[in-house]
Structures are given as structure tokens and as C-alpha cells.
Amino acid sequence: MPSRPTIAVTRWIPDEALKVLREAGEVTVSREDRPLTRDELHEFVAGASAVVGMLHDRLDGGLAAAAGPGLRVVSTVAVGYDNIDVPALTGRGVVVTNTPGVLTDATADLAFGLLLAVTRRLGEGERLLRGRTPWSFHLGFLLGSGLQGKTLGVVGLGQIGQAVARRARGFGMEIAYSGRRRADAGVERALGARHLPVDELLATADVVSLHCPLTPDTHHLIDAAALRSMKRAAFLVNTTRGPVVDESALADALEAGEIAGAALDVFEKEPEIEARLLDRNDVVLTPHLGSATVETRTAMAVLAARNVASVLAGNGPLTEVPA
């Protein structure tokens, strides 16, 4: 009787996903409650037929070599795959998959929550109360910025960008967007969205929300020059990937009053954060919570597991990353 495929899971995943994997092969889950070092990762995947990885794992040719010639599929529990050297893996005949679609609404909810928190100074107000600071209501107390009639500039009008734009429309905002490709005319009509070059969007939007993938072209897309081009009353929201924003330049811009505030769920050197951002009242920070609902994280893990099971069964991937 042939041996069952071996599946290496680099960190805890929900039981629902483990059930799918255990039906497909012999499963080993890392016992470390932290990202594995490169050497630890390579040792852990040795001999694996499949690897289920996380966004902090470097999944590349070195990993494939460590796993050996039996590696058939690498499945990341994420939409973005900037941590994966796709050509290096596919060049070895390894299928690469991700988990698009299932986290759209959760991430859009979080992005809009950050938008509200930074524009209405919610975090600052909560810290004031928790710090037992004396206060009293008056007409000038903790004034924020309203959204009605303001322009939301969406950088990257994919599924998540569109979902954020729909929420913004409900708050009476106007929508502008930029991206590598223009959206379908039907999408533009439904959102009332105007397509602008990114430099024009940055210069005119009241809130800029980032939803583009991390690529060499978008690394530090929001740098010192981009921040200087924004309105002084504008806000920046980032729920995509940390390195899209130059955090040091952002701290400089906030110190200089070049923009009004920022809200970040992802960070350039995650989990490290630019120290100058931590004590600023015009900054809202959350620890990569975009997809952090029970329902969404479970759906992501199950889709990653189903991709593995499908490839190992010889049926091909469900959501393959393009080579």
C-alpha cells in the first residue's frame, strides 16, 4: 500500500482546516507559537509533499530544495503572495495557491473602521478616558473630520478596494481610484468612481486607502514625495502590505504637519513599528487584524487546505497563483 502524502503546516490553523488536510495526508503542525526561522522552516518541511504556509514564511526555491523532489503544492493562507518566489517554485513543478475572495468583507470592514477611528479621533478619545484624564463636553472638544462630501481615494480597486468604496458611498463620500488597469465601466458606474493617475489622486483625495498588492513597483509607493503631495488635511489608511508605505517618511510627514493623520494595520518590518508613530495621537495602529474574524480566518484556512487536498488528489488547484 503506497504511503500517504505528508503535509507540513508552519503554524496553528483551525480544526476545520486540519480535518480537510488529515483526510488528504499525514499532517504535521509546527509546535512553535511564532514564525519559524529560515533554517527551522527548511528543517520542518523536509520530505513534505505539501506545505501550508503563512504570510511571514519565505516560500521559495530554498524551501523547495529543503522539502525535496516530492513537494507538489505550496498553499499560503493569505491573498497576497509577496513572500513567495512563485517562479522558483513553479519552475520546479510545484503548484502555488492562495486564498482570494474569502476575506474581502472582513478586510473592508477593518479598513473603514480605521478610517472612522482616525478621522473622528476615536482612539485618542478612548485613551483619554482610560487614562482617567479629567474632561468635560464643549463645542471644541476633540473635533474630528466629517466624511460626507469628502473624496476617498482608493489605490487599487480590486475586490477589497471596491468593498471599501461601497462602504464609503454609504457615508456620502465621493470615490476616486487609481490602479494598473482601469476598472470595468459597470464597476465605475456602480461606485460613481473616477479613475485618476496616482499623483492626481494623492493630491486631491481627503482620505487615501491603500489596497494595491506589494510589488517592486508599489514598494514605498507612499514615500516622502507622495506624502508631501497630499492635502494637509488628508488621512492615509493602509490595510494592504506594510512596505507600500515608507514608515520613516510617514513619521516625518506627520511631525511636519504635511498630512492630518494615518491609520495602519500592516507595517514595513512587521511586527516592528516605526517608534515615532507609537505615541502620536494622530495615528491609529492595529496588529494586522484585517481578516481577523473567526469566520474569515477559518474560511481562509479551509480554502488553503482544500487547495492542498485537491492538488494531492490529482484534481488541480482551486485558487492557483499565476506563474
Q: 226: domain CATH number? A: 3.40.50.720
Q: 244 and 113 in one domain?
A: yes
Specify the DSSP class assigned to residue 294: H
Q: How many independent structural domains does the chain possess?
A: 2
What percent of the chain is predicted at pLDDT more than 90?
Answer: 98
Q: 274 and 212 in one domain?
A: yes
> Does residue 90 belong to any structural domain of this protein?
yes
Q: Is the pLDDT of residue 1 over 60?
A: no
> Does residue 124 belong to any structural domain of this protein?
yes
Residues tagged active-site: 241, 270, 288
Average pLDDT of span 221-248: 98
Q: 269 and 126 in one domain?
A: yes
- What pLDDT score does 3 carry? 85
Confidence of residue 44 (pLDDT cuts 50, 70, 90): very high
Among 219, 226, 158, 154, which residue's Cα sits nearest to residue 193?
154
Q: 145 and 246 in one domain?
A: yes
Angle at the Cα of 108 from the Cα atoms of 217 and 272, rounded to 5 degrees: 60
Using H for helix, E for strand and C for coil, what is the string for 126-163? Answer: HHHHHCCCCCCCCCCCCCCCCCCCCEEEEECCCHHHHH
Helix (H) or strand (E) holding 177: strand 174-178
Confidence of residue 94 (pLDDT cuts 50, 70, 90): very high
Residue 221, phi then psi, degrees to nearest 5: -55, -40
Interatomic CA distance for residues 322 and 195, integer angstroms? 26
Q: 125 and 225 in one domain?
A: yes
Q: 153 and 83 in one domain?
A: no
How much is the CA Rg of the chain, to the nearest whole Å?
22
Interatomic CA distance for residues 297 and 280, integer angstroms? 30
Q: 188 and 168 in one domain?
A: yes
Q: 49 and 33 in one domain?
A: yes
Q: 163 and 58 in one domain?
A: no
Residue 141, phi then psi, degrees to nearest 5: -80, 120
Q: 136 and 215 in one domain?
A: yes
Residue 135: count other Cβ atoms within 10 Å of its Cβ.
11
> Does residue 209 belong to any structural domain of this protein?
yes
Q: Which of 67-71, 180-184, 253-257 is least confident?
A: 180-184
Average pLDDT of span 246-272: 97
Domain that holds residue 254: 104-285
> Does residue 203 belong to any structural domain of this protein?
yes
Q: Which tens digit of pLDDT belongs to each residue from 172-203?
A: 999 999 998 999 999 999 999 999 999 999 99
> Does residue 321 belong to any structural domain of this protein?
no
Q: Is the pLDDT of residue 2 over 80?
A: no
What percent of the chain is predicted at pLDDT more than 70?
Answer: 99
Q: Taking a C-beta distance cutoff of 8 angstroms, is the pair 84, 60 a contact?
A: yes
Q: Kindly report the average pLDDT of the chain as a whole number.
A: 97
Q: 20 and 117 in one domain?
A: no
Dihedral sign of CA atoms 160, 162, 168, 173 in order: positive
